[in-house]
Amino acid sequence: MILYLFSLLIPLINPIHTDGMKGVENSNSDVYATVNLAGTGLNKVVFDLAVKGMKKLEANGQLQNPDILTIADYSQSSNNKRLYVIDLKNKKLLFNTYVAHGRNTGDEFARYFSNKEGSLKSSLGFYVTENPCTGSHTGFSLMINGVEKGINDNAVKREIIIHAADYATENFIKRFGRLGRSFGCPALPPELNKPIIETIKGGTCLFIYNPDNNYIATSSLLN
């Protein structure tokens, strides 16, 4: 009798778990569609990966503001507006603009990544934004903390920050055929640097993406 009752409960338990998972997926799809991220060039696979990692950071208590998600999609040409600041709660795209990658990461396209000091390469993965600072060469900037060991956890030591750069502009693209490159920092157009920093500062998630097989296979936040 006990085994019989238990067998009746099993089909009731599994659908609840499945429906919960579907609820999360449907929520992601709803935001993606409402914001029309497909129309901006952001692939849904990239968006879903970003949300997946962000949810883990949130569950670990590493985010102070999980409503704001920033994605730098380095699978796209640097000539594209490949930085996205998304308000997940209100389902709005707050910013969509250019973002530079590291000098040794590639020319128009980002291809090579590193966590090493002096590499002048970008580092992939998930970051948590910290507080604004003022650099002697970069001006108003934002510190970002790489939270993936061996992948981007040297970001603070490498002084990888978000800052403004004249080479991260449409005028630069018109002159040189591609965006300029940084020392590894995700550099932004000067006119949007401060508004973006003020929006994402203080414990939000930044995801720097590229379909790099090594990163995708080793990221603890994606596996």
Answer whether CATH 3.90.180.10 is correct for domain 36-218.
Answer: no
Output the average pLDDT for the chain: 91
pTM for this predicted structure: 0.89
At 11 the pLDDT is 40
Q: Which residue has the tokens 């600072």?
A: 133
138-169 residue pLDDT tens: 999 999 999 999 999 999 999 999 999 999 99
- Using CA atoms, how far residue 219 sits from 2, 90, 158, 212, in Å, is 43, 29, 20, 11
CA distance linking residue 106 with residue 178, whole number of Å:
11
DSSP 108: S
21-74 residue pLDDT tens: 455 566 788 999 999 999 999 999 999 999 999 999 999 999 999 999 999 999
> CB under 8 Å, gap of 24 or more: what pairs does 23-28 form?
24/55
- Which residues have C-beta within 8 Å of that of residue 136, sequence separation ≥ 6? none
